Structure 1
């Protein structure tokens, strides 16, 4: 009897297989939360402090002009984006841990492409960041900050946060592929996190920035994420809403491609 040859999936079957593997890798990442469920609660402390201390103080001082929008309302979407950034930018450290534990080498010899591993981890980073949307919204409602109650807008905001988190997680994994050292990666992550945050419109409008900082904010994906969140959560119109979404999608795709190409350097 002639043995039957198994052909590699093509077309839609290949795409379906890739999506299934990506979903599996993402689910495995999320299962890690079962071992430390307190992580979700500890992550909520930082955005709460920003709103309760920084936000209320500057709201009373009136030193940052935000037009007709109260400063606390202006700040809340920026804090959501900031919290998601802080979660995602250190995601590369986890992949270095996987390398040191021998897990990454086993994943890389499976039939799954590197892009499936990267996309799964980026998706997991996005899901973790969604908790910040919920926590900041709940706190905003308690503080009397006017935020939307529309479930469709809230779901769209979660999608925006996931796109932004995917890019920054992929940026972190790309850096991991370049430096291949946990301590160096942690130092680089700490060095770029605050510049990314302050070179965006999360804390203040672009109009009050010096000209050189405006240029930096225009190439910073975090600014486009904040613009989308303000449009969805507090109704502040964006000059180019589709551009904001397009930049986030493009950044996530480019981030996945770059991280996938550098991932194999970790296991050499």
Structure 2
């Protein structure tokens, strides 16, 4: 009598996982693909930059002194003498948005020093061999500078409120203030990193940064209206991104007339161009 054929062996439906599913530790997570890659890398780089604040917050405290002096000394004095026409707005109110933009710019304009330090420490070379696009590296650092500038902006707003500056507390307008501060800081930090990619040394960057910060500040509408400037300075002011940032902040915080659509268009365009320029020079900086 012939034996009945053996039933075919069926494979178990369950995967061959080791004890406790330890094999999951050996399988790398699936990488993000498509449009999700760039935002994820930008966010990661931004978080890495902001982690540095946990170790040293001194910079935030010391940088709060200068805008406080501008409001307390310059603002109070010129409010009393009424030497600058501000369209019926008290001068200290008119000045407060300009000081917010100024303090944000002063933080961002020296951001290139940090990337040169990372080059000297060998960190930048390690970042460049990762799959992270260079534009994501620059954008992450740029928007981290924007977040730092936001902390500074909060300090200025608190001081201005204590001095009696009449500002709006509308949440949507404050959100617009956040966007304007971050975009402006992103541009100026990218400008700094672009200069770093050209000069390659901290000393040269420090000298250039000090040489351009005050001209950028005084060639804007931060301290006085564009209408009272000489003609050549009005032309410079119209190509200065800081003027558009101040105009947006003044319109949002004080409710004065502003060209918000133009302001945000210029700030977005400047930030994009800044990221592109700094990204193109990042490889030269790492050589």
Q: Name the TM tier (shorter chain).
A: over 0.9
What's the counterpart of residue 169 of structure 1? 189
Unaligned runs of 5+ in 2: 1-29
Give the TM-score, by structure 1 length.
Answer: 0.94
Query: Structure 1 residue 162: deviation in Å?
Result: 0.2
Unaligned runs of 5+ in 1: 1-7
What's the counterpart of residue 283 of structure 2? 264
Deviates more, 1:162-171 or 1:43-52: 43-52
Query: Structure 1 residue 150: deviation in Å?
Result: 1.4
Query: Structure 1 residue 146: deviation in Å?
Result: 0.5
Matched, 1:241 2:260: yes
Determine the C-alpha separation between the residues in 1 that align with 2:67 and 2:128: 36
What's the counterpart of residue 230 of structure 1? 250
Query: Structure 1 residue 118: deviation in Å?
Result: 0.1
What's the counterpart of residue 252 of structure 1? 271
Matched, 1:52 2:77: no
What's the counterpart of residue 116 of structure 2? 96
What's the counterpart of residue 127 of structure 2? 107
Query: Structure 1 residue 235: deviation in Å?
Result: 0.5
What's the counterpart of residue 94 of structure 2? 74
Out of 142, 156, 180, the position equivalent to 1:136 is 156
Out of 201, 216, 221, the position equivalent to 1:201 is 221
Determine the C-alpha separation between the residues in 1 that align with 2:59 and 2:278: 25
Determine the C-alpha separation between the residues in 2 that align with 1:19 and 1:235: 33
How many residues in Structure 1 have an aligned counterpart in Structure 2?
259
What's the counterpart of residue 4 of structure 1? none
Give the SS at the match of 1:112: coil
Supply the RMSD in Å over aligned alpha carbons.
1.4
Query: Structure 1 residue 37: deviation in Å?
Result: 1.9
Query: Structure 1 residue 176: deviation in Å?
Result: 0.4
What's the counterpart of residue 175 of structure 2? 155
Determine the C-alpha separation between the residues in 1 that align with 2:43 and 2:137: 9
Give the SS at the match of 1:147: coil
Query: Structure 1 residue 136: deviation in Å?
Result: 1.4
Give the TM-score, by structure 2 length.
Answer: 0.88
Query: Structure 1 residue 13: deviation in Å?
Result: 2.8
Q: Following TM superposition, where does structure 1 have runs of at least 4 consecutive aligned residues deviating by more than 3 angstroms? A: none
Determine the C-alpha separation between the residues in 2 that align with 1:139 and 1:184: 34
Determine the C-alpha separation between the residues in 2 that align with 1:51 and 1:65: 17
